[in-house]
Amino acid sequence: MTSAPALDTSRREQTFRILQIAVVGSAALLFLLELPSIPSGRVLELAFFTGLATLAFRLRVRYAGNFLGLEAAALVPVVLLFDSPGAAILVCVAADILAKLLRRTRRLTLSTAFDLSQLALSYGLAARFFHALAQPPSGPIAVAVAAAMVLLVFFFINTLLVFGYLELGRLVPTDRLLGMGLFQLVALLLVVPIVVLEILTYNHYGVLGLLLAFFPVVLTSFVLRGFSSMEEKYARVARENRELEVMREISNIFSLGARPDRYRRAFEALRGLLPVEAMAFVEWLDDAEDAIEIHLEGSAAVGRQEIRDWVKRRRLDEVLDVTAESVWSRTGGEREVALSPTTRHQLVARLSTYELHTGLLVLESSYAALQTPAAINSLRALAGQMALVLQDRAIRAQVQELSIRNRERAETLGQILEISNEVKRHLTPDNLFQSIVSAVGRSLGFDAVLLSLYVPERDLFVRRAQYGLDHRWAEIQGQEVPAPELTRHWTERNRVSKSYFVRERTSDELTRFDVVTARRGRAISNGWRPYDMLFIPLHSGDRLVGCLSVDEPRGGQAPTLETIQALEIFANQAVTAIENARRYSDAKEQSIRDGLTGAYNHRHFQETLQRELGRAERQGRPLSVLMLDIDDFKAINDRYGHPVGDAILERIVAEIRSEVRGDMDLVARYGGEEFAVILPETPTEVAADVAERIRRRIDERLFRPPEGEDVIRVTVSIGLAAYPDDASTKKELVEKADSALYRAKRGGKNAVVSTARPGDEPLSTLPH
């Protein structure tokens, strides 16, 4: 049944090659026949027109899917002025070769030879037609008529050759040929006035006149290049929009259940973007070993068993490196399996994600446009979308199948979804980690669960949360475990799904980093053995985030594949929650910190002071506030520059932090060179001692600028106010501390002043 189409395809390819060779040979034969007609006495003129034609070839621009034949503005004058078909062919061939040599790609193939020959043959036959006229034209109207006739003859011959070439080679869809022809005809006729002007000016003013008449061609080329660039951008945007439409349609097709026509509808959707004539959709089935489901659409006539053998022979159904090429192309005899004998061009795309390899998509077309970079990029994006949709469908089907097969697991899976939503609401990392391990232990039936986070900079894991290990948590909390101590168990021998089930270890193989729980009795037959361990790696894309270790399953039975896969589903959701919590924590920390010094900002100072003041009032405890200002800081900035001033601000914050309690006290940049410190549960006397230590520590430090030999002595003035001795509200407390700071400044600077101290006498001062 397929022999006739195969014969048609073979004949098409043979005819295509014969046409190429015939045109090249005909052009060469015509040139040899017309060689004597070349005027030997006009070599310089021929050289000039060759250079002009070379420039015209270089000015050719692609617009609206067509190459505009601007070279006609140089070659038609040769036909009319020299009245020599040989001269026209010589100038055309020489100029085209020179133009091609000036390009980056200088490879000569049969296709480039055909392109050169069909132009030479078309212009040569048009020149013979002009030569056959009884009398050369004279006058503008006659020249215009002659130029139009030459261009029309050229157009019809060139169109016949080019359209035959494009149709036989399946280079352009048939429905586009008529539009291309009409566009070329209009463009050539617009050249007629330029040709008439060139001939008239050449007869009267020589080369300079002709060059001036040729200038509109140059201008037209540059204008059209701008339009062409805009057209390409518009086409790219339009293609991207079509890609989005096709992606959305395919998502709807495969997400609305197992409709029998979904593959035909997917094929029709793809044809809206790519010139596809045949399609094979290959899927791996999970419910049967080595089962492959194949769906054929369009003109695909290959046997399904042939595709199945090809997949198995190439091992295409196996999980490969995710960095491997996802789309590859084959042409003609290079195809290992051909969907249709009427097509030559093939693209094969893997339907894979980082988590799942679901199948293959094979597309074929008789048009080479299927294998352009734009088409390949579009298919790569579409294949990725299909893979995601199929993965989602597979996961949904897997969860549904697990629910049907294991009714007793229905409540557990429901708990997983419910707890996953709860986990996502935890934005505090410690609370989130504890929620994860508790959910795994309670919902999936493990009495011991440990969560470790991976630190890539040091290649180690850190114990962060546990469930069921309270008796050992004080010992192992925060423990740093070299990554090889865990990953040495992550081998193909131990792999189950995407996890690692380590069995048959002995006590001699254990290390101090293993989770060893209280249960170490006799192994249960066909169950969980005393030293078994299940690891579930946590990945975000290809990046390792951490690891879940589970032990002691309730009932003592080894986990089933369904349980492990349920763990992995939960692990994927947990990774998303962990990443969100980290981003939230980082964003929150950045929002309350000063970007230069790392101290807390003014807003966070005000919020914390209000909160701490309320707590002090409830608990009947004191609270003190220090306001610090760098003395004469403007003079430092003016003399040494702001970079030095910024470095001093950073150092001041470091010195303040070294004298306060890191877990209770808060250091904030109040504004400019002014800082504030909150000292919870600190009375006036103790706060004064802290302030004096800070003042003395800064006074004793010498700051050296990065450049220069000077050293800078920096001092601070500090004001102190306390609750409840000095104030009872936040506003009053800050005002009292600021007032004390002002008194310290007025009293000579480099001093500590307390609101509780009468008069203006500072608590401490050093002479300047």
In SS3 terms, 621-655 reads as: CCEEEEEEEECCHHHHHHHHCHHHHHHHHHHHHHH
Torsion (CA) 590, 593, 594, 596 in degrees, nearest 10? -60
The answer on 603 and 510 residing in a single domain is no
Cβ atoms of residues 705 and 644 within 8 Å? yes
Residue 176 pLDDT exceeds 70 = no
Nearest to 73 by CA among 182, 192, 153: 192
pLDDT digits (tens, 9 = 90+) for 407-421: 545 555 565 565 566
Residue 41 pLDDT exceeds 50 = yes
* Across 163-186, average pLDDT: 61
pLDDT of residue 136: 64
Residue 665 pLDDT exceeds 60 = yes
Longest dimension (CA), the chain: 125
Measure the CA–CA gap between 632 and 461, rounded to whole angstroms.
Answer: 49
Instruction: Give 322 or 217, the one with higher predicted confidence.
Output: 217
- Whether 236 is in a domain gets the answer no
The single-letter code of the amino acid at 295 is H
Nearest to 383 by CA among 260, 506, 281, 461: 281
3-state SS string over 198-238? Answer: HHHHHHHHHHHHHHHHHHHHHHHHHHHHHHHHHHHHHHHHH
Q: Residue 731 burial (CB < 10 Å; 0-12/13-18/19+)?
A: exposed
The single-letter code of the amino acid at 429 is P
The answer on 263 and 365 residing in a single domain is yes
- Indicate the average pLDDT of the chain: 77
pLDDT of residue 624: 93
Q: How far is CA 747 from the centre of its chain?
A: 62
pLDDT of residue 4: 38
The answer on 617 and 553 residing in a single domain is no
Measure the CA–CA gap between 124 and 130, rounded to whole angstroms.
Answer: 10
Residue 691 pLDDT exceeds 90 = yes
The answer on 542 and 452 residing in a single domain is yes
The answer on 653 and 525 residing in a single domain is no
Cβ atoms of residues 536 and 550 within 8 Å? yes
| Structure tokens belonging to residue 424 | 């996502």
Task: List the single range of 49-53, 204-208, 290-294 with lowest mean pLDDT.
Answer: 290-294
Reported confidence tier of residue 521, pLDDT bands at 50, 70, 90? very low
Among 346, 380, 404, where does a domain finish?
404
Reported confidence tier of residue 692, pLDDT bands at 50, 70, 90? very high
* Across 96-122, average pLDDT: 74
Reported confidence tier of residue 78, pLDDT bands at 50, 70, 90? confident
pLDDT digits (tens, 9 = 90+) for 436-459: 777 777 777 788 888 888 888 888
Quote the domain boundaries for residue 367: 256-404
* Across 640-659, average pLDDT: 87
pLDDT of residue 524: 36
Among 343, 378, 404, where does a domain finish?
404
Using a pLDDT cut of 70, give the percent of the chain over it. 78
The answer on 321 and 427 residing in a single domain is no
Among 190, 216, 242, where does a domain finish?
216
Cβ atoms of residues 546 and 432 within 8 Å? no
* Across 532-550, average pLDDT: 85
Q: Is the peptide bond before 724 cis (omega within 30 degrees of 0)?
A: yes
Helix axes 140-168, 177-189, angle to 10 degrees: 160
pLDDT of residue 213: 80
- Whether 238 is in a domain gets the answer no
The answer on 624 and 582 residing in a single domain is no
Cβ atoms of residues 92 and 74 within 8 Å? no
Number of domains composing the chain: 4
Q: How far is CA 92 from the centre of its chain?
A: 47
Q: How many CA atoms lie within 13 A of 77 on its CB side?
A: 30
Reported confidence tier of residue 103, pLDDT bands at 50, 70, 90? confident
- Whether 471 is in a domain gets the answer yes
The answer on 277 and 349 residing in a single domain is yes
Instruction: Give 676 or 561, the one with higher predicted confidence.
Output: 676
Reported confidence tier of residue 518, pLDDT bands at 50, 70, 90? very low
Measure the CA–CA gap between 449 and 468, rounded to whole angstroms.
Answer: 7
Residue 680's DSSP bridge partners are 623
CATH of the domain at 86: 1.10.1760.20
CATH of the domain at 384: 3.30.450.40
The answer on 569 and 669 residing in a single domain is no
Instruction: Give 104 or 384, the one with higher predicted confidence.
Output: 384
Helix (H) and strand (E) counts in the chain: 21, 22
| Structure tokens belonging to residue 509 | 């193989």
Residue 194 pLDDT exceeds 60 = yes
Cβ atoms of residues 718 and 751 within 8 Å? yes
The answer on 702 and 642 residing in a single domain is yes
- Whether 246 is in a domain gets the answer no
Cβ atoms of residues 570 and 604 within 8 Å? no
- Whether 80 is in a domain gets the answer yes
- Whether 352 is in a domain gets the answer yes
- Whether 512 is in a domain gets the answer yes
| Structure tokens belonging to residue 493 | 């021998």
The answer on 468 and 380 residing in a single domain is no
Reported confidence tier of residue 181, pLDDT bands at 50, 70, 90? low
Report H helices in 291-409.
Answer: 304-314, 373-405
* Across 170-196, average pLDDT: 67
Nearest to 150 by CA among 189, 199, 116: 189
Residue 510 pLDDT exceeds 90 = no
The answer on 349 and 200 residing in a single domain is no
- Whether 694 is in a domain gets the answer yes
